[in-house]
Amino acid sequence: MKVDQLSIFLENRAGRLAEVTRILSEAGVNIRALSLADTSDFGILRLIVSDFTKAKDTLKEAGFTVGRTSVVAVEVSDVPGGLNAILTMLQESGINVEYMYAFVQQSGNSAVLIFRFDRTDQGIELLHKNNIATIPGDTLYAM
């Protein structure tokens, strides 16, 4: 039920992000979701892509430092309060969200939330116990 997220170290310098997207585009890899966190010196680019292994290998080859992180994807109704219900539940059980990002699906009326929990397995267990479905990696990559 986990999703592979690709994390890439980026120096804060003009053109670095474009270099990543160029490499992925040339490799025919599609970006499903993206989030960028930054400090004054560097940034971390987090991606969910159509082909994790291919993306990882081509970026590594180009000299980027990359990592794999297990994140959890959840589909919620695109209505007010959808995210809040989940966060409240997590808070009550003491699971910490290290970071998260979201995207809205073009076709449906639902949003996809990507979570990075401090305890991933417990997070998934909690979601399932409360009948909240997680999206398997393969489904997400092919969306």
Q: Which residues make up the interface to another protein (CB under 8 A)? A: 5, 7, 9-11, 16, 37-39, 41-42, 44, 46, 63-67, 69, 98-99, 116
Query: Minimum CB separation from another protein for residue 62, in Å?
Result: 8
CA distances (Å), origin 54, targets 24, 28, 30, 58, 138: 9, 9, 11, 6, 15
For another protein, the closer CB: 9 or 133:
9
Supply φ then ψ for residue 118, to 5 degrees: -70, -30
Query: Minimum CB separation from another protein for residue 40, in Å?
Result: 10
Query: Minimum CB separation from another protein for residue 110, in Å?
Result: 25
For another protein, the closer CB: 38 or 81:
38
What does the block give as tokens for 81? 């309060």
d(CA 93, CA 62): 42
Query: Minimum CB separation from another protein for residue 14, in Å?
Result: 14
Helix (H) or strand (E) holding 44: strand 42-49
For another protein, the closer CB: 97 or 132:
97
d(CA 46, CA 140): 15
Cβ proximity of 92 and 24 under 8 Å: no
For another protein, the closer CB: 96 or 130:
96
